Structure 1
Amino acid sequence: MTLLDKLALRLPIVQAPMAGVSTPQLAAAVSNAGALGSIGVGATNASGAARMIDDVRRLTDAAFNVNVFVHSAPIRDAEREASWLSALEPVFREFGAQPPSSLATIYQSFADDDEMLRLLIKRAPPVISFHFGLPDQARVTALRQAGCVLIATATSLDEASAARRAGMDAVVAQGFEAGGHRGIFDPAGDDAQLGTVALTRLLVAQAGLPVVAAGGIMDGQGVSAVLTLGAVAAQLGTAFIACPESAADEAYRAALNSDAAFNTVMTDAISGRPARCLRNRFTTWAGRATRMPPDYPVAYDAGKAVNTAAKATGESGFGAQWAGQGAPLSRPMGAADLVRTLADELAA
């Protein structure tokens, strides 16, 4: 039985679980249209995840994916954090604000979150996917026993091989073109920065797992291309940002529809981990920064504070406006309409 058969999917299309952008309404609309909808719970706790999962289930009986972050715990460095806040002080001052006096670890990794594990075992969503790394074997075993299909993001053959050894059912080949946070296990390690085509073909040939291709795919022609490479499905994230069901604010949508879409930037300044973003005032500032941001998600505490101060004055250029290199191909329409359009293009 193939992965698509196991999930009863009519279409080889996965909506990427964009934390902070994907909503239960978006995920349900995608799943109801025959693809795999997703929610990201890496930016919430177990009670928040429970509400999101229950909301999806109220809106669809179809399979859906719940994504968690499995990042290493940040190494706290008071001097480094103070230096980063000092570098950001002129930005805060521009908006009549002061930097926070200290930073916090705002998101807990699934690797250490027993409450989230209990919640996922109890709710048993059809699919659980992992980003930034892999959980330990006890967690993998518990989730498999709960009946969940398990998928991990990989940016290299080594990561995909680790996913196979850990017992994953499939792997997402995240090309360097992809928007949002890069799923590399060790952000301080070497990154070959493989593109979607090269990585997908490599993993299809050598990883020993079904491969879902991700990065720069925006239309049915792109889906067809990665299926030809041997992928079992394509994962699209940026394509769904402009859907009315997403949580993207108006400034984000406007930026996606502007020249910024042609100039995405990989930066670690916003959150502390490499992530592809529309070029905006924050990425421009980051390009001139000479200090190293704190580890993820500590740096994100500062990034969110900057954005809050800027938005209070009407400035929207300091948001985490994640997008992939295919952003200029974005088409605003309802999620179900987009899935149908992708299916028609794929069939053609």
Structure 2
Amino acid sequence: MPPLLDQFGIRLPIIQAPMAGVSTPAMAAAVTNAGGLGSIGVGAGSVAEAREAIAEFRQRSDGPLNVNLFCHRPAVADAAKERAWIDRLRPEFEALGAEPPPRLREIYRSFVEDDAMMAMLLEARPHIVSFHFGVPRDEWIVQLRQAGIMLVATATSLSEAQASVRAGADAIVAQGWEAGGHRGLFDPDAPDERLETAELVGLLARKIDLPIIAAGGIMDGSGITAAMESGASAAQLGTAFIACDESIADEGFRLALADADNRPTVMTRAISGRPARSLGNRFTALGSAISDDEIPAYPVAYDLGKALHSAGKAMGEYGYGAQWAGRAANLSRPMPASKLVRTLEAEL
């Protein structure tokens, strides 16, 4: 058994990705109770919502929980760019019989400046806290470690992994180019090496003296085995869990996922303001003709993206949703999360 599994308190090298807007405490508890590591993403919610989610998990499981935070650079307002972005998407709203919002907001607060969220974590003390888009300030890392919390950081490159090691991470999620959802880039405006999962895992396993968790394009037991043969101690699966019963993915997302053979995934910045891999839909097609420098900062752009999705849903059009999914989305298997974990275990 890899030492990481002992440290995490899990039996299987299976981690359910903390997908904000899709994963739930019920899903996380089902995965943990089946021998893997369940996760919840709280970066898109309030402190009260995060506290409630942790409490709900603990009502369902006494096992370990991974709580994930966003550590993105706080957005810098650009009123001219934001007005131009609203005007750019206005025809899409009008075609749906709706009006875009008059102004855009920074809808998510980055953990790097959220003292209340930090205080809640020190109070709740989940077994594991993980970070996406970077790492928090040094003193917070020290306080979390002193509270007995294990820390995991996401890296898309060797330099990001090395920065995470210096910050004090206990393990690194190696997020390959195939992965669904937001790229964990520390700087979304810097060049992206676009390393695929196997290549990144092998590189980090050779260069980093910490356990590596493979993420990106892994959907079954053979994928987990291949990741571990590349040097990973465990695998993190996200897209594999989207169709599970406990997921809160909406009807349109589930239908799109079921049609993944005909919907190649696309890396787009247009939906949220940061590069993210989605099933191909109306929004990704729209974004393909838009240059990155036209798009407001994350998560300000996401305010308009969510408004457009809501307008579409009201008319029965789901093609403007953030249908985050990895390249192997067509291998998705709808079933309860606990059954999926058992299935993955049998395939290992």
TM-score, normalization: structure 1?
0.98
Give the 5 Å matches for 1:165-184: 165-184=166-185
Find the counterpart in structure 1 of residue 15 from structure 2: 14
Amino acid at match of 2:306: K
CA distance in 2, matches of 1:201, 1:186: 23
CA distance in 2, matches of 1:44, 1:259: 29
CA distance in 2, matches of 1:254, 1:84: 29
CA distance in 2, matches of 1:192, 1:47: 37
CA distance in 2, matches of 1:7, 1:285: 42
Question: Could you tell me whether the CA contact under 8 Å between 1:261 and 1:327 is conserved in 2?
Answer: no
Tell me if 1:69 matches 2:70.
Answer: yes
CA distance in 2, matches of 1:314, 1:8: 44
How far off its partner does 1:142 sit? 0.9
Amino acid at match of 2:67: V
How far off its partner does 1:146 sit? 1.1
Alpha-carbon displacement from aligned partner over 1:92-151 (angstroms, at most 9, x marks no partner)? 100111111100000000000000000000000000000000101111011111111100
CA distance in 2, matches of 1:335, 1:59: 14
Find the counterpart in structure 2 of residue 23 from structure 1: 24
What SS class does the counterpart of residue 130 from structure 1 fall into? strand
Question: Could you tell me whether the CA contact under 8 Å between 1:262 and 1:325 is conserved in 2?
Answer: no
Find the counterpart in structure 2 of residue 219 from structure 1: 220
How far off its partner does 1:75 sit? 1.4
Give the 5 Å matches for 1:159-308: 159-259=160-260, 262-290=263-291, 292-308=294-310
Find the counterpart in structure 2 of residue 153 from structure 1: 154
Alpha-carbon displacement from aligned partner over 1:67-91 (angstroms, at most 9, x marks no partner)? 0000001111111001111100100
CA distance in 1, matches of 2:35, 2:217: 21
Question: Could you tell me whether the CA contact under 8 Å between 2:135 and 2:164 is conserved in 1?
Answer: yes
Amino acid at match of 1:301: D
CA distance in 2, matches of 1:98, 1:8: 50
Find the counterpart in structure 1 of residue 311 from structure 2: 309
Structure 1 vs Structure 2: percent identity of aligned residues?
56
Alpha-carbon displacement from aligned partner over 1:246-279 (angstroms, at most 9, x marks no partner)? 1111111110010466400000100000000000
How far off its partner does 1:288 sit? 2.0
How far off its partner does 1:289 sit? 2.7
Find the counterpart in structure 1 of residue 121 from structure 2: 120
Amino acid at match of 1:173: A
- Please say which of residues 254-263 and 273-282 is displaced more in the overlay: 254-263
Question: Could you tell me whether the CA contact under 8 Å between 1:262 and 1:327 is conserved in 2?
Answer: no
What SS class does the counterpart of residue 288 from structure 1 fall into? coil
Give the 5 Å matches for 1:79-98: 79-98=80-99
Find the counterpart in structure 2 of residue 46 from structure 1: 47
Tell me if 1:340 matches 2:334.
Answer: no
Find the counterpart in structure 1 of residue 331 from structure 2: 329
How far off its partner does 1:7 sit? 2.0
Alpha-carbon displacement from aligned partner over 1:26-73 (angstroms, at most 9, x marks no partner)? 000000000000000010011110000000010001111000000001
Amino acid at match of 1:156: S
Amino acid at match of 1:60: S
The alpha-carbon distance between structure 1 residues 259 and 121, as it changes in their structure 2 partners (threshold 3 A), is closer
Gaps of 5+ in 2: none
Question: Could you tell me whether the CA contact under 8 Å between 1:107 and 1:297 is conserved in 2?
Answer: yes
Question: Could you tell me whether the CA contact under 8 Å between 1:260 and 1:279 is conserved in 2?
Answer: no
Aligned residues: 346
Find the counterpart in structure 1 of residue 110 from structure 2: 109
Question: Could you tell me whether the CA contact under 8 Å between 1:272 and 1:299 is conserved in 2?
Answer: yes
CA distance in 1, matches of 2:4, 2:331: 28
The root-mean-square deviation of aligned C-alpha atoms, in Å, is 1.0
Find the counterpart in structure 1 of residue 140 from structure 2: 139
